[in-house]
Amino acid sequence: MESLDQPLGGAEFAPKKTYLNTSACGLLPRRTVEAVTLLAEETADGRAGGAGSFDVVDEARAAFGRIAGVSHERVAVGSSVAVHCGMIAQSLPTGSEVLFPEGDFSSVITPFTIRGDLKTRFVPLDRLAESVRPGTALVAFSAVQSADGRTADFAAIREAAAAHGARTLLDATQSAGWLPLNAAEWDYTVTAGYKYLLCPRGASFLTVTEEAQDTLLAIHAGWVTGEELWVNSYGPVRELARSARRFDEPAAFLSYHGAARSLALLEEVGIERIEAHDKGLAARFRAGLLDLGHEPVADDSTVVAVPGLGDRADALHDAGVVLSVRAGNLRVSFHLYNTAADVDRVLDVLAG
C-alpha cells in the first residue's frame, strides 16, 4: 500500500484548512477551476458559437461511463439526483411498490413519495435484501449512507431483486469516485458529481441499462434529446436519441466544462488507487477513535460517523477542521487530497 503521508493528485489541490467534508462537497481541482474560468471569460467576451461545447459535455459523459464501467451510450447527463429520480418515479405505474432503506437520502425517496399513488415501504438497511418480495417493483437505495457511512450489501440486494423481478436504483453519490462502480449491474444509477467526483455543482449522471431504457418516460425531453442534435429546434423532436441521451437535461456548460477535467483527473489517478488511499485514512481514523474511547459506526467506508460526538463540531471548526454533523453523528469523510496528517489533526483536537 502507498504511503498515506502524501495526497494523490499532486498540485491540483491546496486546501487552506483540514478539509474532511467531501461527503458534503468535494474540492475542485485546479484544472477544473481553470476550465470553468476560461469558459466564463470567453462567454463574457462574446465568443462565437455559444457559451459552451457539446463535445466537452460528451467528454464528461464518456469519462463517467468509463468510471462506471458502461458505454457512454448508457449515460445521461443532468443537474441533480432529485431530477433523475423524479423521472424514474414518474415512469412507474400507479400502485407500484418501491422499497427503501430507512433514513436514506431525501432526494432518492421524495420523488417517489410525492406522487401519492405509489406504495412505499421502509426497512432497516441490513434487512433490505430480505425484504424484497413478490410485487416489489423497485428497490432504491444509496451505495453509501449519507448519515453514517454504512455500505449496502450489493450482491444480496441484486440477488433478491432478480429473484422477485424487481428493478434496482442505486444512488452512487457518496461512493462514485472512491469505490469502484459497475453500473451495468443496476437498472438505474444516479450520481451527483459535486462530491467524490470533484465536479462543480450542476453536473449529475444517470445510467440506464438498455433493457430498462424502455421503462422510462423522457419527461423533460427537449431539442437536445433528439437522435440528430441540430434538426430539432422547432416543432416536435423528430426522433428521440436511441441511447440514454434521450434522458438528458440541457447541460449547464460551466459545470460540464469543469466536470470533464475533474473526471479526467480521477481516471489518471485510478479509482482503485483512490479506494485504497481513502480506506487507509478511514481505518487510521477509526483506530484512533477507539484509542480515545469513541465507537465509530462499523464499516470500511471512507465516510466515518461517530455517534455522540456531534457536539464537538464547533470546536473542530474553530481549530480549522472542516467536517459535518449528520443525524447527530460527527461525520468525517476522506478523499484523495487528504493525508495521515489530516487524520492525526482531527484526533488531536478530539483528544483535547
Note the pTM of the prediction, 2 decimals: 0.96
For the segment 286-298, the average pLDDT, to the nearest whole number, is 97
pLDDT (mean) for 199-203: 98
The predicted-structure confidence for 40-75, as pLDDT tens digits, reads as follows 999 999 987 668 999 999 999 999 999 999 999 999
| Beta-bridge partners for 142 | 171
| pLDDT value of position 3 | 92
In terms of Cα–Cα distance, which of 204, 195, 255, 262 is closest to 79? 204
pLDDT digits (tens, 9 = 90+) for 130-158: 999 999 999 999 999 999 999 999 999 99
pLDDT at 197: 98
Helix/strand/coil percent split, the chain, to 5:
40, 15, 40
d(CA 116, CA 46): 47
pLDDT score of 53: 94
Asked if pLDDT for residue 208 goes beyond 80, the answer is: yes
Are 146 and 326 in contact by the 8 Å Cβ rule? The answer is yes
Per-residue pLDDT, averaged over 193-207, amounts to: 98
For residue 254, pLDDT beyond 70: yes
pLDDT > 90? residue 90: yes
pLDDT at 352: 86
Mean pLDDT along residues 324-348: 97
- Residue pair 219/90 in contact (Cβ under 8 Å)? The answer is yes
Q: What percentage of the chain reaches a pLDDT higher than 90?
A: 96
* Nearest-angstrom CA–CA distance, 19 and 204: 23
Is 10 a residue whose pLDDT tops 90?
no
CB-CB contact of 97 with 76 (8 Å): no
Cell (9 digits) for 172: 452512487
For each of the domains in the chain, give its residue range(s) and CATH number, in order of start. 10-28+270-351 (3.90.1150.10), 40-268 (3.40.640.10)
Mean of pLDDT over the chain: 96
Region of residue 165 (phi > 0: left; psi between -120 and 50: alpha; otherwise: beta)? left
pLDDT for the residue 332: 98
**How high is the pLDDT of residue 49?**
65
